[in-house]
């Protein structure tokens, strides 16, 4: 098939659709190879749209017949859709098309996952189901009739009819096509109920394959807690009689918020103590909340166009982060979120894929479901909240729901609500949505003693580095939360938010008895990089005394990075000051174990590579790996018996519970075990592996054994135990590549791809092996280039099968410009090899082109 040159879509080109849709009626006659989709759609002219031809999206559809007001018509077909002359007034469009769910391996549109039918329509998958104006600003009520002999037939909204071999669903809420969903299969449910605060009775179900029903209880509990939380915190109630969740094994992302019928990657909903880790439980709770919260922020109020994606995603991530903070520990959640932001979003924002939170152009929208849109998008909401205060935020949100319910809205609408509710001018703040790149904030300070007390000045300079297509940057509004400590550790100035608005600004604090120690960017109040001259002594002081838990942790992290930097660049030994500060922190029983576990964790290899690069060095992944090992061993030797004490004291007794308290204890215990394993030859890890009755401890022990190269027996025992559990086997695959020795990683991955259980068309399994290798920094960047070639080979193989997942995984190469000439050359060759593949998807073509900087 000839491919048109990929087209770029621009925000500036937005025009409304020629028509409005008053009602959609769909009939599905399900069959694996030939499914018939019959549509009846009521169109009326859109008074707000300019004149233009009537165009419906449609891809890979076989049109059987089309009618307008009952009369057969012959539309003009193209690869992207159809055009057709239509009456001037309202009319009814009818079409019958054939599609093939069985051969749909892209997992977009209607597809099959092991004998179960399911859909994924966001962003532009509905056009693979039938002809339709597949754009989020076209909203309509849907009725859906499903014909199939399968026992469970689901779609959006409320059930409105059921008979032998069919079911009908009616969704009264107008919605865009990307929120359409259909599921049919031999499924069983975990049922429950929820009464909303205004008294609506809601039937809740989690639908799974037979055998998985024992893994639903936690997800159901998380759903009910999410429903209550959204009522209490945002005043938002659920609005249908049923809420269905379905678990599916083959899915490109985590989950999808289809109206009343959320579809989940089974890894994002199924949980049991034996098969899921504490991290899995927390992730599942967060994703369930996220998708549920979309019912208001995404569904009731949706996006006018895909450039506004952050309107629903940034806000919904922010809401799920608040939820997790309330369910667990706010401080620990904030640190986790910042770790994630830095690992994924800063990495993106400081490389060739940098783009604004609201992009201005795209080729393939699936490529813009990014850490920048989601995570930086959430940070922008957090900054807004900080700038207008909690009350202003609550007022603005109430106004948002009141004013825009039922709308397809824009970022302009969103910001106007804040301006109207609080009176604040947000024109400069809006730059955060259009300007890419991570701002650097340089801080210098001065102290002048005086008779009435001294004055401490903080001088801030902000600068955002150039990013692709944006050479010049303007100053942003940056809320910097600052507190001051006296040298004896008392807080002399509690947290206040300084608002930077200019390139260079000075803030003064007067009447201080002694020169204070500043704690800057408390709570990580803005997504920026702070550059400030400091030393190990000051960092150790803040680690010991800062009252802001985020900055307390940050001080320890800064110390670790300094130590590692000096180990890598000067061959220095681990600094004793660091080892002592870390030990004092680990010993401090007034600190939450979860916090101590985080503080004990060293920076990742990728984080260190970026840190060294920012400091003007060319990172050597093998050196970084060796330095981290060396430091970990030094920490273990320094702490001595403290570690075995922690290991014993943190043991959790009684039945496994996935709550934050128990999980925090297990995390600290695991931190101790990882260090102990470096000095006890894995004795404790082996014993824990054998005794574990939960996956957190079993997998934790296995990871320690892998790290010291002593996991062979445990790996095969693990496999025999979990052979029939796909989600656990994903862990088995992923752990081996992620924790392989640098010089063996490519070989290990290659061997695993030959395993009979390597089902490479399943995105979870593919990501486990190939993504695990890419995450193993030293292994991925092995000097021979073997890992680059292996990843590239597999991306080329996966692309025709699943472009979305392939394109996403090209980001393994996004950091290539950090490295030396040899590595850059090998990576460029592999990227060019991918780009030159005949018939390469639009998704992957765009990504590889942007990474190469073409
Ligand atoms: N809207 C989904 C979410 O954030 C994301 C999503 C699920 C998605 N599946 C997708 C995005 C497929 C693009 C393609 O919750
Ligand atoms: Zn989302």
Q: Which domains can be identified in the chain, with CATH numbers?
A: 1-104+122-149 (2.60.40.1730), 301-532 (1.10.390.10), 534-679 (1.25.50.10), 723-854 (1.25.50.10)
Any atom of ligand 1 within 6 Å of the Cβ of 123: yes
**How far is the centre of ligand 2, averaged over its atoms, from the C-alpha of 255 (Å)?**
8
Give the phi and the psi of residue 127 in degrees, each rounded to 5. -65, -10
Residue 216 CA to residue 189 CA, distance in Å, equals 9
Residue 631 CA to residue 297 CA, distance in Å, equals 45
User: Strand locations in 258-308, DSSP E?
Assistant: 261-265, 302-303
Residues with Cβ within 8 Å of residue 201, at least 6 apart in sequence: 193, 194, 195, 241
Nearest residue (by CA) to ligand 1, atom 3, is 256
pLDDT score of 5: 67
Helix axes 309-327, 411-422, angle to 10 degrees: 60
Q: Structure pTM?
A: 0.98
Please, are residues 173 and 157 in contact by the beta-carbon 8 Å criterion?
A: yes
What are the structure tokens assigned to 357, written together?
């939170």
**How far is the centre of ligand 1, averaged over its atoms, from the C-alpha of 260 (Å)?**
15
Residue 25 CA to residue 295 CA, distance in Å, equals 22
Residue 127 CA to residue 123 CA, distance in Å, equals 10
Any atom of ligand 1 within 6 Å of the Cβ of 252: yes
Reading phi first (left if > 0) and then psi (alpha if -120 to 50, else beta), residue 853 is in left
- Work out which ligand 1 atom sits closest to the CA atom of 291: 15
What are the structure tokens assigned to 727, written together?
């989600």
Any atom of ligand 1 within 6 Å of the Cβ of 255: yes
Residue 415 CA to residue 817 CA, distance in Å, equals 36
**How far is the centre of ligand 1, averaged over its atoms, from the C-alpha of 294 (Å)?**
11
Any atom of ligand 1 within 6 Å of the Cβ of 553: no
Q: 406, exposed or middle or buried, with CB in 10 Å at 0-12, 13-18, 19+?
A: exposed
What's the distance, Cα to Cα, between the start and end of the chain in Å? Answer: 25
What are the structure tokens assigned to 795, written together?
């991306």
Residue whose C-alpha is closest to residue 603's, from 625, 620, 633: 625
- Work out which ligand 1 atom sits closest to the CA atom of 366: 13
Provide the 10 A C-beta neighbour count for residue 533.
9
What are the structure tokens assigned to 147, written together?
């014909």
Ligand number nearest CA of 120 is: 1
Residues with Cβ within 8 Å of residue 661, at least 6 apart in sequence: none
pLDDT score of 6: 78
Catalytic residue among 124, 257, 291, 364: 291
Any atom of ligand 1 within 6 Å of the Cβ of 530: no
The question of whether 291 is a catalytic residue gets the answer yes
Residue 87 CA to residue 92 CA, distance in Å, equals 10
Nearest residue (by CA) to ligand 1, atom 7, is 256
Torsion of CA 841, 845, 847, 849, to 10 degrees: 180
- Work out which ligand 1 atom sits closest to the CA atom of 374: 4
Residues with Cβ within 8 Å of residue 509, at least 6 apart in sequence: 455, 456, 457, 458, 484, 493, 516
Mutate to test the pocket of ligand 1, among 106, 108, 113, 120 (most ligand atoms within 8 A of CB): 120
Please, are residues 786 and 751 in contact by the beta-carbon 8 Å criterion?
A: no
CA 563 to chain centre: 30
Any atom of ligand 1 within 6 Å of the Cβ of 167: no
**How far is the centre of ligand 2, averaged over its atoms, from the C-alpha of 236 (Å)?**
17
Any atom of ligand 1 within 6 Å of the Cβ of 366: yes
What are the structure tokens assigned to 683, written together?
């004795």
Chunked into runs of 10 residues, the chain (854 residues) has average pLDDT values of 71 98 99 98 98 97 98 98 98 98 98 98 98 98 98 98 98 99 98 98 99 98 99 98 98 99 99 98 98 99 98 99 98 98 98 98 98 99 98 98 98 98 98 98 97 96 98 98 97 98 98 97 98 95 97 98 96 95 96 98 98 96 98 97 98 97 98 98 98 98 98 98 98 98 98 98 98 98 98 99 98 98 98 98 98 90
What are the structure tokens assigned to 56, written together?
């419906």
**How far is the centre of ligand 2, averaged over its atoms, from the C-alpha of 290 (Å)?**
6
- Work out which ligand 1 atom sits closest to the CA atom of 294: 15
pLDDT score of 1: 39
Residue 669 CA to residue 676 CA, distance in Å, equals 10
Residue 540 CA to residue 524 CA, distance in Å, equals 19
**How far is the centre of ligand 2, averaged over its atoms, from the C-alpha of 606 (Å)?**
26
Residue whose C-alpha is closest to residue 819's, from 349, 351, 342, 339: 351
What is residue 721's three-state secondary structure? helix
Mutate to test the pocket of ligand 1, among 107, 134, 180, 252 (most ligand atoms within 8 A of CB): 252
Ligand number nearest CA of 316 is: 2
Torsion of CA 168, 174, 179, 185, to 10 degrees: -10
Residue 256 CA to residue 265 CA, distance in Å, equals 9
The DSSP secondary structure of 741-795, one letter per residue, reads -TTTHHHHHHHHHTSTT--TTSHHHHIIIIIHHHHSHHHHT-TT-HHHHHHHHHH
- Work out which ligand 1 atom sits closest to the CA atom of 251: 9
What sign has the CA pseudo-torsion 404, 405, 406, 409? positive
Any atom of ligand 1 within 6 Å of the Cβ of 264: no
What are the structure tokens assigned to 723, written together?
């052979």
**How far is the centre of ligand 1, averaged over its atoms, from the C-alpha of 320 (Å)?**
15
Nearest residue (by CA) to ligand 1, atom 15, is 256
Please, are residues 155 and 119 in contact by the beta-carbon 8 Å criterion?
A: no
The DSSP bridge pattern shows strands 91-99 and 62-68 to be antiparallel
Any atom of ligand 1 within 6 Å of the Cβ of 289: no
- Residue that the structure tokens 């109207």 belong to: 420
Residue 561 CA to residue 529 CA, distance in Å, equals 14
Nearest residue (by CA) to ligand 1, atom 6, is 256
Any atom of ligand 1 within 6 Å of the Cβ of 257: yes
What are the structure tokens assigned to 250, written together?
């083959």
**How far is the centre of ligand 1, averaged over its atoms, from the C-alpha of 169 (Å)?**
23
**How far is the centre of ligand 1, averaged over its atoms, from the C-alpha of 712 (Å)?**
37
Nearest residue (by CA) to ligand 1, atom 14, is 122
Let me know how long the chain is. 854
Please, are residues 17 and 137 in contact by the beta-carbon 8 Å criterion?
A: yes
Q: Which helix (H) or strand (E) holds 278?
A: helix 278-293
Please, are residues 606 and 625 in contact by the beta-carbon 8 Å criterion?
A: no
Residue 793 CA to residue 790 CA, distance in Å, equals 5
Mutate to test the pocket of ligand 1, among 255, 259, 268, 807 (most ligand atoms within 8 A of CB): 255
Residue 6 CA to residue 212 CA, distance in Å, equals 42
- Residue that the structure tokens 């609500």 belong to: 417
């Amino acid at each position: 098939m000839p491919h048109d040159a990929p087209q770029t879509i621009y925000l500036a080109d937005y025009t409304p659709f020629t028509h409005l849709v008053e009602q959609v009626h769909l009939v599905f006659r399900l069959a694996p190879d030939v499914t018939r989709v019959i549509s009846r759609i009521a169109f009326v002219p859109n008074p707000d749209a300019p004149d233009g031809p009537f165009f419906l999206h449609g891809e890979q559809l076989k049109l059987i017949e089309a009618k307008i007001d009952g009369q057969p018509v012959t539309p003009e077909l193209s690869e992207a859709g159809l055009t057709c002359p239509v009456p001037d007034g309202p009319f009814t469009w009818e079409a019958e098309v054939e599609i093939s769910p069985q051969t749909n391996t892209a997992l977009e549109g209607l597809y099959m996952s092991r004998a179960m039918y399911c859909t994924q329509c966001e962003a532009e998958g509905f056009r693979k189901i039938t002809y339709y104006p597949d754009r989020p600003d076209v909203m309509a009520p849907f009725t859906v009739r499903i014909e199939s002999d399968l026992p469970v037939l689901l779609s959006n909204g409320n059930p409105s009819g059921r008979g032998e071999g069919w079911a009908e669903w009616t969704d009264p809420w107008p919605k865009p096509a990307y929120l359409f969903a259909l599921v049919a299969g031999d499924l069983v449910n975990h049922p429950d109920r929820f009464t909303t605060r205004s008294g609506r009775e809601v039937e809740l179900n989690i639908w799974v394959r037979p055998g998985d029903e024992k893994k639903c209880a936690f997800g159901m509990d998380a759903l009910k807690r999410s429903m209550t939380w959204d009522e209490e915190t945002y005043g938002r109630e659920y609005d249908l009689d049923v809420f269905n969740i379905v678990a599916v094994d083959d899915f490109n992302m985590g989950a999808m918020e289809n109206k009343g019928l959320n579809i989940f990657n089974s890894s994002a909903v199924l949980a049991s103590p034996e098969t899921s880790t504490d991290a899995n439980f927390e992730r599942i709770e967060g994703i369930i909340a996220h998708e549920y919260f979309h019912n208001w922020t995404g569904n009731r109020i949706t996006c006018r166009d895909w450039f506004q994606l952050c309107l629903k995603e940034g806000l919904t991530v922010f809401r799920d982060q608040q939820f997790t903070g309330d369910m667990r520990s706010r401080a620990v959640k904030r640190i986790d979120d910042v770790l994630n932001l830095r690992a994924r979003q800063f990495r993106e924002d400081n490389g060739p894929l940098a783009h604004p939170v609201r992009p201005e152009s795209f080729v393939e929208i699936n490529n813009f479901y990014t850490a920048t849109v989601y995570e930086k998008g959430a940070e922008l909401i957090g900054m807004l909240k900080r700038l207008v205060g909690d009350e202003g935020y609550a007022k603005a949100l109430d106004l948002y729901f009141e004013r825009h319910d039922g709308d397809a809205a824009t970022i302009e609408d969103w910001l106007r609500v804040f301006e109207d509710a609080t009176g604040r001018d947000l024109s400069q703040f809006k730059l955060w949505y259009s300007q890419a790149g991570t701002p650097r904030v340089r801080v210098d300070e001065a102290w002048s003693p005086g008779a009435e007390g001294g004055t401490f000045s903080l001088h801030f300079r902000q600068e955002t580095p150039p990013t692709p297509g944006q050479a010049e940057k303007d100053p942003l509004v940056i809320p910097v939360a600052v507190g001051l400590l006296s040298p004896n550790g008392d807080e002399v100035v509690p947290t206040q938010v300084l608002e930077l608005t200019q390139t260079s600004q000075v803030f003064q604090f007067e009447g201080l008895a002694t020169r204070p120690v500043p704690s800057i960017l408390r709570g990580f109040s803005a997504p920026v990089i702070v550059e400030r001259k400091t030393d190990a002594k000051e960092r150790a002081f803040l680690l010991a005394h800062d009252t802001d838990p985020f900055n307390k942790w940050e001080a320890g992290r800064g110390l670790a990075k300094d130590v590692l930097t000096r180990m890598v660049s000067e061959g220095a030994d681990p600094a004793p000051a660091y080892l002592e500060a870390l030990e004092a922190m680990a010993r401090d029983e007034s600190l939450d174990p979860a916090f101590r576990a985080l503080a004990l964790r060293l920076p990742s290899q990728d984080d260190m590579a970026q840190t060294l690069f920012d400091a003007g060095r060319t990172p050597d992944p093998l050196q970084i790996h060796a330095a981290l090992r060396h430091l970990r061993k030094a920490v273990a030797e320094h702490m001595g018996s403290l570690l075995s004490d922690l290991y014993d004291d943190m043991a959790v007794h009684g039945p496994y519970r996935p709550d934050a308290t128990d999980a925090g204890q297990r995390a600290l215990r695991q931190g101790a075990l990882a260090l102990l394993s470096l000095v006890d030859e894995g004795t404790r890890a082996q014993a824990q592996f054998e005794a574990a009755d939960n996956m957190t401890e079993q997998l934790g022990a296995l990871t320690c054994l892998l790290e010291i190269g002593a996991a062979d027996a445990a790996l095969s025992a693990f496999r025999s135990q979990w052979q029939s559990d796909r989600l656990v086997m994903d862990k088995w695959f992923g752990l081996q590549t992620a924790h392989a020795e640098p010089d063996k990683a490519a070989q290990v991955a290659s061997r695993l791809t030959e395993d009979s259980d390597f089902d490479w068309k399943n995105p979870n399994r593919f990501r486990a092996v190939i993504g695990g290798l890419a995450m193993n920094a030293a292994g991925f960047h092995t000097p021979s280039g073997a890992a680059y070639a292996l990843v590239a080979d597999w991306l080329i193989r996966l692309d025709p099968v699943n472009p979305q997942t392939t394109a996403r995984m090209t980001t393994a190469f996004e950091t290539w410009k950090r490295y030396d000439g040899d590595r850059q050359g090998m990576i460029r060759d592999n990227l060019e090899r991918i780009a030159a593949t005949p018939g390469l998807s639009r998704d992957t073509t765009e990504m590889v082109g942007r990474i190469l900087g073409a």
